[in-house]
Amino acid sequence: MTEARAHILSKLNRAIVREDIGAGSVDDRIATHNTGPLPKRGQDPDQAALAARFVQESDLAGSDIQQLASRDDVPAVVAAYLRSKNLPPELRVSSDDIFGGVPWEGEPGLTIRDGVVDAADGAALSAAFAGVAETGTLIMASSPDNPAMHAFVPLVHMVILPESRISGNYEAVWADLRHQFGAQVMPRMLNMITGPSRTADIEQTLLMGAHGPQSLLIMVIGDL
Amino acid sequence: MKSTASQFPQNAREALADETLQNVLENFADGFPRKRAAAISRLDEFDDLRDAARDIKNHVLANLDTYLTRFEERVLENGGQVHWCRDAAEACQTILEICQAANARTVTKSKSMIGEEIAINDFLERHDIEPVETDLGEYIIQLREEPPSHIIAPAIHLSKEQVAETFVEKHTDRDPDRTLTEPRVMLDEARAELRGKFLGADVGLTGANMLVAETGSIATVTNEGNADLTMGLPRVHVALASIEKIVPTLEDASTILRVLARSATGQEMSVYTTFATGPKRSDDLDGPEQFHVVLLDNGRSELLGSEFQDILRCIRCGSCINHCPVYSTVGGHAYGWVYPGPMGSVLSPALIGLEDAHHLPNASTLCGKCETVCPMHIPLPRMLRSWRTRQVEQNLQAATSRYGLELWAFMAKRPRLYRVFSAMASRVLRMMAGKNARIRWLPLGGGWTSKRDMPAPQGPTFMSQWKQNRDRYS
């Protein structure tokens, strides 16, 4: 292994036609986080416009999206969504702080489970780290409070996204991430999710729910 | 996978005669290009992004050794392991040893072209480990024991009837008389079959679309979510990536993502883009206990600094394939190895040798569409021509074209003889064509005239017209 490493690196070293001078420029390049051209789409004037853009783009990507005034509305929306998908009133909910203030008692028929999803779960609810207006993309950061598999194992995935966490573009989220986690530190899994799972592998017929969720519900919460 | 690239002409003839394939290809040629054009029309900055994406990869290639060591440092810091492999044999052995150390019996796999390149499935099977492809298209062709025919749509060559036959034959626990006519029903069946495999696998093997030097993350891009289940559920995650997949930062990854999905499927973004960084952390409820990155060279370091370096910018979007008139006529299997279409015809000779793959650079009309649609500005036609030059240098081209060119060169160096002969040939061709100016059969040109008529030359030769009308033009 070390032999292969030395061999590959020395071959590269000999073959490379260098444009820059040495390792210093590489470390500078990594540290400066220069962005490429940023699309105008996503450079909206205020948070309300960004949220509107996010809603529009998520819809184009096939997500179901609802704008709620506050967390108080979550239980009723969740219960109705499960009914619309013919699923039992059961839900795996991640233990993110954001769910602390959700009045689940308002939907007594709904069974809420914590912990990580398993194969028997039809639906899971988790919290987004951010939303990106440019393409209606959710950014999910895995943690003990937000297990990554909630977004992939069940047939229905639901996400809470505070409106204040909607950014124009991916680059703004990376800046937030570094601010929150530290430079060069990543959550173990960072998932960018744009719509529900799909495939077109059989005669190019587009079908939702390939291996991941068939439906994705995003609840954008105004007051959080 | 064993190459049949040396039989390209034979493969292509068979593909042309395959009615099912021709029907499927007709559908193919329309879909992807239309969706790509629609997505690009929604993004004014697309061309600027292409330039930026090209510059990122050029910069990385000019510092690849340093970037790889930075990436390695970050992976190690995050508790992962990095395995450097010179060739397919070393990579297969490395993956096998990881699987054996984990007492693995089954390995779930998300689609990886590098996995095809090193033929990891066959290797694992020979050592009693069951590899299970989880991308729907890849799963279908694994059941059929076929190679992929497209780098992003591996089962594009199949009709739904063929998929249904395969499922009935291979899913033996199910009612053989069930109705399987709708793609939806077939998908649900595959989803149910694979669910148990995802949950029961000991090792998950993914590819990587990018390696981020800044964070030591591997990035995967899928629409199904299968890469995420593959890396998230088993005890061990192995990511297999070739060395040129490096990008410096998350910002650079973003620039490339903006051109990737739009060029590939015409989506704004693929559904799932995932950055995985190291194994499960102390309080995590899910995730793998081990995180391995297998870094594969397999001939790529030879391309650095060569006239083929630019192909190392390729992000495997498949756009060149989707727009290639040759691919959409013969399909992917005719090319005979892992990578079809224009990018494959440039890359394959470098990876399996020009002798084996010498037909591939000729399997192009040099129409240039591939370069026009390439999000990384890879000069594919220029490199196809470079391979043709090497064919001539190594005496690999067919005897008929060699003698034909020698004859033409002989004449072209003798202008008087050339003029006499071309005037004669032009007259003969016009006589053969008759009134409607179409030639239905040509001696030595049967390959052309069996599929279409040859138009007859119109009027006298250029030189005689030039002589006649010189005054008018001067």
pLDDT in tens, A164-182: 999 999 999 999 999 999 9
Tell me, yes or no, whether A95 lies in a domain: yes
Chain A residues inside the 8 Å CB shell of B278: 188
Which of A119, A195, A211 is the closest to B226 by Cβ?
A: A211
- The answer, yes or no, to whether residue B251 has pLDDT greater than 90, is yes
CB B12 within 8 A of CB B334: yes
- The answer, yes or no, to whether residue B163 has pLDDT greater than 70, is yes
* Residue for token pair 């005034």: A69
Q: Label residue B453 by pLDDT band (50, 70, 90).
A: confident
Domain around B450: 415-473
pLDDT, average across residues B331-350 = 96
pLDDT, average across residues B29-53 = 95
Our CA-based measurement puts residue B392 at a distance from the nearest CA of chain A, in whole angstroms, of 25
Residue contact B302–A15, C-beta within 8 A: yes
Q: What is the pLDDT of residue B1?
A: 75
CATH label of the domain that carries residue A81: 3.40.50.10420
Tell me, yes or no, whether A6 lies in a domain: no
Domain around A128: 42-221
Tell me, yes or no, whether B339 lies in a domain: no
Tell me, yes or no, whether B75 lies in a domain: yes
- The answer, yes or no, to whether residue B435 has pLDDT greater than 90, is no
Q: What is the pLDDT of residues B81-128, one digit of tens each?
A: 999 999 999 999 999 999 999 999 999 999 999 999 999 999 999 999
Tell me, yes or no, whether A12 lies in a domain: no
Q: Which of residues 217-256 of B touch A (CB under 8 A)?
A: 217, 223-226, 228-229, 232-233, 243, 248-252, 254-255
Q: What is the pLDDT of residues A98-131, one digit of tens each?
A: 998 899 999 999 999 998 999 999 999 999 999 9
H or E segment to which residue A125 belongs? strand A123-127
- The answer, yes or no, to whether residue A30 has pLDDT greater than 90, is yes
The dihedral region occupied by A38, where left means phi > 0, alpha psi between -120 and 50, and beta the remainder, is beta
Q: What is the pLDDT of residue A21?
A: 60
Q: What is the pLDDT of residue A22?
A: 59
Tell me, yes or no, whether A115 lies in a domain: yes
Do B287 and B423 have their domain in common?
Answer: no
A-interface mutation test, from B74, B143, B250, most A Cβ less than 10 A away = B250
- Please measure the distance between the N-terminal and C-terminal CA atoms of chain B and give it in whole angstroms: 61
Question: Within an 8 Å CB–CB cutoff, is residue B278 touching chain A?
Answer: yes
Our CA-based measurement puts residue B188 at a distance from the nearest CA of chain A, in whole angstroms, of 8
Question: Within an 8 Å CB–CB cutoff, is residue B137 touching chain A?
Answer: yes
- The answer, yes or no, to whether residue A224 has pLDDT greater than 80, is no
Q: Label residue B423 by pLDDT band (50, 70, 90).
A: confident
Residue contact A30–B249, C-beta within 8 A: yes
Residue A70: how many other CB atoms lie within 10 Å: 13
Residue contact B301–A22, C-beta within 8 A: no
- Chains A, B: CB contacts within 8 A come to 280
The total number of structural domains that make up chain B: 2
The total number of structural domains that make up chain A: 1
- The answer, yes or no, to whether residue B428 has pLDDT greater than 90, is no
B-interface mutation test, from A63, A169, A188, most B Cβ less than 10 A away = A188
CA angle at B373 for the pair B368 and B376, rounded to the nearest 5°: 105
Chain B residues inside the 8 Å CB shell of A209: 187, 191
**CA–CA gap between residue B329 and residue B451 (Å, rounded):** 13
Do B423 and B292 have their domain in common?
Answer: no
CATH label of the domain that carries residue B70: 3.40.50.10420
pLDDT greater at residue B443 or residue B41 = B41
**CA–CA gap between residue B379 and residue B387 (Å, rounded):** 13
